[in-house]
Structure 1
Amino acid sequence: MSPSPSLQENQRLEALYHYNILDTASEAAFDRITLLASRLLGVPISLVSLVDQDRIWFKSRQGLDCPQVDREGSFCGFAMYNQGVYCINDTLIDPQWCDHPLVTGEFGLRFYAAAPLCTSDGQRLGTLCVMDHHPHELSELEVQTLQSLGELVIEQLDLRLASQRLQQTEIALMQSETRFRALVEQAADGFLLHDFNGRILDVNEFACQSLGYNRKELLSLSLQQIEVDPLPLIFFQSLVQGQPITLQRTYRRQDQTTFPVEVRLGLIQVGEQQLIHTLARDISDRLEIEQQLKQQAERERLNTRLTQRIHESLELSQILNTTVTEVRQALQNERVIIFRFDSDKEGEVLTESCAQGCFSLLGNRYKDCCIKETLSLEKTDQVKSVADIYTDNLSCCDQELLIKLKIRAYLVTPILHGQKMWGLLVAHQCSSPRKWQVWEQELLVSLAAQLAIAIQQSELYHQLKIVNHELKYLATFDSLTGIANRRYFDEYLQIQWYQLSQEQAPLSVILCDLDFFKPYNDTYGHLAGDQALREVAQAICKAMRYPTDLVARYGGEEFAVILPKTGVAEAILIAQNIQKQIEKLQIIHSGSSVGYYMTCSLGIGMVIPSQNMNSKQLIEIADQGLYQAKAQGRNQYVVSSLSPSMSLN
């Protein structure tokens, strides 16, 4: 059945090998096509088959575990030479194939149809084929659909090859502008070279024609002017990490019309600069075909969309509100609620979405006497459907409550959290009976499962926020004294320095060192020393006046105070108050030579921040004062001023 080796076969194999696709990993683009082929044509098996010299290898396969088969006597090896879709409605009555092992053997092949994969220059690479164990007869529309999907396979092969070619020639492009221009001009896609700011540096003629500009006009634009939406930052981060990006974008032409494109982004090194190259293919026709296919999978698409909406937020209230809104819009019913149990049989309506004229149940509490028994916790896919409360077999108490709430029909499924029932997802029809469709029941069950995941994620998110808050506290505050640490002191000083330099207002700093603290530790022990530090820290805080004043542990037994908008006179008063507050503690210190109780020495520095100074110099001024206070006998404060050696000028 296969043609004998010849020049024509060698050329065909050369074309196949040129795509460099044999024995490569599965790719989502091809898997989507085979999945759509199976769903649309109603068959269990669909394959993208590539015919090698002695074998047929499957790039994508649905419903078949075998990665390849022998070419000898194969269906695909024969079908790829057909001048259109090759179809065998029933292999048992087909004289050519009725004795084939796949037909007579355990596999039991009864139906086969294939669209040849033919390149633009006529080379046959293989087929997009579908199979079944039962006879089929394709309609004219189904034949056209299979042919269109086969053309999509060729488009993906060409796009994949174009991307590979571009990546392989990046080094050569840097060395030769002529070769670079030749490559991009020959590309059957729009080519744009731009930097990370979106400035367009180079384009090919195809891009100009697609967008309606001449080359000069297009080079004067930025990428943001031709893209409808800006590219998210995360994609640039992936590119920098060496990950090529393929995604769908929307471009805007010069006449302001828009069109969808599939773009492949990659990095290229030009000298010391990294640039982004973009291959853009107009996919308007492809999307039209996909839209037709999507209409046949409305429930799956709707379920996916609602699930994505649920997971867009980690805030539980937002997740629940989104769910009830989207479910009611999808089902076109009159009310959707989420009911949460807070005890064994009692709970509250947490959120709802109501049609106009339907009264609210939000916040109402109810006792549920039978739902938990009706819905088995062992089956998470269970749903209860009531088309009419007057004709369905309901208990009297249930019926009375539903009549009171003016509910005529309902659909309910449990929301589980682990092995416990967290709550219920309920759809109400109030004005009339309603026979709930299977897809509606499946949708509710699916979303309840997603809600269970979202609830767990939300709880983890809130736990993470608590942990992050604790980590931030540990990074900001001193673990022993509970006041700010050195790191936060430095950050806060920089903030106040900048702000007061704009306002030209004074900024004071007080450095406070406990007198003879090492002998105190040696005499009373480190536990007593730690307790003394805690008490002193709180005493210093009591001496502050305004919320903007900051007390920090500067290191060891040394404390530091930042006093925004405070002159020398006020700083002296605060220093005196600090001494008084510490004196009130009456911490006995037998190792001190300046007093019976623990005392401190203080250095005061004050400046009006300006451009010819920095915050470190203010610390130096206060530190100089502290040094003088200690040198003069301790248990006192000294106001220090800026010395000539501290000036930047």
Structure 2
Amino acid sequence: MNTDIVKILLIEDEIADADWLDEILVEQDHPTVEIEHVKRLKEAVVSLSQNNFDAILLDLSLPDSKGLEGIAKIKEKAPNTAIIVLTYLNDQNIAIEALRQGVQDYLIKGKITRELLIRSILYAIERQKAEVKVRQDALMKEMLDRIRQSLDLKEILDSTVVEIRRFLATDRVLFYRCEANSTGEIIAESIKPKEEQDLSTQSMMNSIDFFELHSLLAQSDNIQAIEDVIAAPHEDVYFLAEHQIRSVLTLAIWRSSIVTESLDASNYLYNEIEENFLPANLVSTDNYRENTEINRSCSSKITDSEITNSEKQNSTRLWGMLVAHNFQTPRKWQDWEFDFLEKLTIQITIAIQQSELYRKLQDVNQQLEKLAILDGLTGVANRRYFDRILHNEWQRLAREQKPLSLILCDIDYFKLYNDTYGHPAGDRCLQAVAKVLKTSTKRPADLVARYGGEEFAIILPDTNTQGALFVANEIRRNLAQLKLVHKKSAISQHITLSIGITTQIPLPKASPHHLIAQTDNLLYQAKRQGRDCIAINDPNQTT
């Protein structure tokens, strides 16, 4: 508020009372008082839409409003402006109710002096400012609490737009996410409830295609405020009126610091994983590099190469916009609203950054979990994960008394293959065999694992001997179709497998170790029988 000028809206239909009030207020030297006089509540609503006032003097007996009903309408239109009631109704109950509804003072006509009125106005303005400050602080605290308590950005934004719309008493508030490909998305919005709208406002909202506003929003500076689109001097905002937007405020939310810090943090973690946890042969594979690059990309598909050093130093990349607008009436946006929203968007930026980093950490954690259970060379499960799943399935099937089948297979004459073609070729052979095993097991519950060296294991839950034998034969057929050359093999010109199969119905107090030992014996039995064959146990045997 300009302390040298106090702007007052006087809502008074009695000319004599209005003239008297105007006379005693205009004579005030400091501060200077400027008065706008209207005779009806409807005129007051229009004036409040077009102008800012420091205080409102409201008569409770108007041609279009009687009693306390006018207070609610004025508070809805100007929730942050001090209201002083001037009335002949000397009723304590009405006075108390008026104060409960948010007026700052209740003065009785005929008992008002010039000094009392001036003091009441100035005190009311200061009390209202204090109340607004308390509400701002409370809203800011709520925002900070949400950021501390939640990592869900959507949840934070959804609740924030509701509070901002109520606080600003505007028709609509939204967060608009600007994308790099010149499209955008409304990710959170709050619209004036239907019961508070008139029919024309509802039809206006239904006609808006907000996505067409992207080009204007993406070019905005930090704050753009248009009091009246129809009266705006810039032709490029006229189309807002076509979308039934009469008054609009946009506030930019910048994201370069969010992106770069998120990228730096997540890429650091990925590098640490690669250097300290991953086998070099996995990091060098095309499949790993492709998946890692996907995980390293930002939510807006902005990569490291697109962010220059200068952009990291100068926060110039637009993340999105906070938008508030009215449908029907102009609005004179106030400086304190700008200040408050700028402070609020700082907290929004923190929430966005926190959410981005949390998402990146989730990606890294998922990658670590995947690395903890996969064999680095072949991409199938490792021995540790095999042991865990076998134990879990053993316990489950012991409760259900259903069969569990285990297949162990070994590449025939693999040492000769390595000696003949070299270890890189041997690695590629192991990868090809692992892929055959994966494609030959169809069910999600089936698990293929590298058991050690050139040996692989397959867990087949709820599978009888015939089912396990079918899978084993499928593996042999699919491997034969690959025709992986092995000229030093004593039994074939191509890679072959020796396979052992055991099927048991687990008992609760037994251990799966006997299942492994029996299957391993059968594997070596297949080798003794000449390799490239299947050895299978007695299907009726249980442990």
TM range (shorter): 0.5 to 0.7
In the superposition, relative to structure 1, how do residues 526 and 306 fare at CA in structure 2: closer, same or farther (>3 Å)?
same
Shift of 1:615: 1.7
The aligned residue for residue 383 of structure 1 is 223
Q: 1:409 aligns with which of 222, 247, 252?
A: 247
Contact 2:465-2:539 within 8 A present in 1 as well: no
1:560 to partner: Cα distance = 0.5
Moved over 6 A (4+): 293-296
Q: Would the alpha carbon gap of residues 592 and 453 (structure 1) be closer, same or farther in structure 2, given more than 3 Å must change?
A: same
> Does 1:303 pair with 2:140?
yes
Aligned twin of 1:329: 166
Alpha-carbon separation, structure 2, partners of 1:593 and 1:500 = 40
The 5 Å alignment of 1:451-466 reads 451-466=348-363
Q: Deviations over 1:307-345 (max 9, x none)?
A: 433564434443432332221122232110223333698
Separation of aligned partners in 1, 2:181 and 2:385: 49
Q: Distance in 1 between matches of 2:184 and 2:530?
A: 72
* Partners of 1:515 and 1:592 within 8 A in 2: yes
Equivalent position amino acid for 2:245 in 1? I
Structure 1 residues 347 and 641, CA, compared in 2 at 3 Å: closer, same or farther? closer
**Is 1:574 aligned to residue 471 of structure 2?**
yes
Question: Structure 1 pair 307/409, CA: closer, same or farther in 2 (3 Å)?
Answer: farther
Q: List runs of 5+ in structure 2 lacking aligned partners.
A: 1-129, 257-314
SS of corresponding position for 1:302: helix
2:454 pairs with one of 543, 557, 567: 557
Identity of aligned residues (%): 39
Please list the CA deviations of residues 248-284 of structure 1 after superposition, one character each: whole Å capped at 9, or x if unmatched.
xxxxxxxxxxxxxxxxxxxxxxxxxxxxxxxxxxxxx
List per-residue Cα deviations over 1:531-554 (Å, max 9, x = no partner): 111121222234334332222111
Closer, same or farther: CA 629–294 of 1 in aligned 2, 3 Å: farther
Q: Distance in 2 between matches of 1:545 and 1:296?
A: 64
User: In the alignment, which residue of structure 2 is the partner of 1:11?
Assistant: none
User: CA 1:417/1:573 → structure 2, altered by over 3 Å: closer, same or farther?
Assistant: closer
> What secondary structure sits across from 1:412 in the alignment?
strand
Cα contact 2:411–2:454 (8 A) shared by 1:
yes
The answer for unaligned runs of 5 or more in structure 1 is 1-292, 376-381
Residues 1:434 and 2:331 aligned together? yes
> Match of 2:366?
469
* Aligned residue in 2 for 1:394: 233
Q: Which amino acid aligns with 2:347?
A: Q
Higher relative contact order (CA 8 A, sep 6+): 2
Structure 2 CA distance, aligned partners of 1:348 and 1:511? 53
Post-superposition shift, 1:643? 13
In the aligned structure 2, how far is the partner of 1:606 from the partner of 1:347?
Answer: 57
TM-superposition CA deviations, 1:284-322 (whole Å, max 9, x none): xxxxxxxxx998633222222124335644344434323
Q: Deviations over 1:120-162 (max 9, x none)?
A: xxxxxxxxxxxxxxxxxxxxxxxxxxxxxxxxxxxxxxxxxxx
Alignment of 1:524 with 2:361, yes or no, is no
- Distance apart, 1:410 and its partner CA: 3.0
Contact kept in structure 2, 1:505 and 1:609, CA below 8 Å: yes
Q: What is the one-letter code of the residue matched to 1:298?
A: R
CA contact (8 A) 2:178 2:214 kept: no
Residue 494 of structure 2: aligned partner: 597
| Higher helix fraction (1 or 2) | 2
Instruction: Supply the distance in 1 between the matched residues of 2:429 and 2:480 (Cα, whole angstroms).
Output: 12
1:364 corresponds to 2:211: yes
Task: Note if contact 2:445-2:461 (Cα within 8 Å) is conserved in structure 1.
Answer: yes
Aligned residues: CA RMSD: 3.1
Cα 1:365/1:389, change in 2 over 3 Å: closer
SS in structure 1 at match of 2:488? coil
Q: Does 1:583 align with 2:421?
A: no
Residues 430 and 310 (structure 1), Cα distance of their counterparts in 2 relative to 1, 3 Å cut = farther
Q: Summarize deviations over 1:345-364 as a string: whole Å, max 9, x none.
A: 87554432111244154752
Q: How many Å separate the matches in 2 of 1:579 and 1:512? A: 10
Q: Which whole-Å CA distance do the structure 2 matches of 1:447 and 1:423 have between them?
A: 14
Q: Distance in 2 between matches of 1:426 and 1:326?
A: 13
The residue that corresponds to 2:69 in the other structure is none
Q: Does 1:632 align with 2:529?
A: yes
Corresponding position of 2:157: 320
Look up the match of 2:433. 536
1:572 CA drift (Å): 2.5
CA distance in 1, matches of 2:333, 2:339: 10
Q: Confirm or deny: 8 A CA contact 1:624 1:640 kept in the other structure.
A: no
User: In the alignment, is the contact (CA less than 8 A) between 1:511 and 1:623 conserved in 2?
Assistant: yes
Cα distance in 1 for residues equivalent to 2:155 and 2:464: 50
Counterpart of 1:341? 178
Change (3 A) 1:632 1:536: same
Larger strand share, 1 or 2: 1
Q: Supply the AA of the counterpart residue of 1:329.
A: R
What amino acid does structure 2 have at the position aligned with 1:629?
Answer: A
TM-superposed deviation, 1:465: 2.5
Q: Which amino acid aligns with 1:582?
A: L
Which TM-score applies when normalising by structure 2? Answer: 0.57
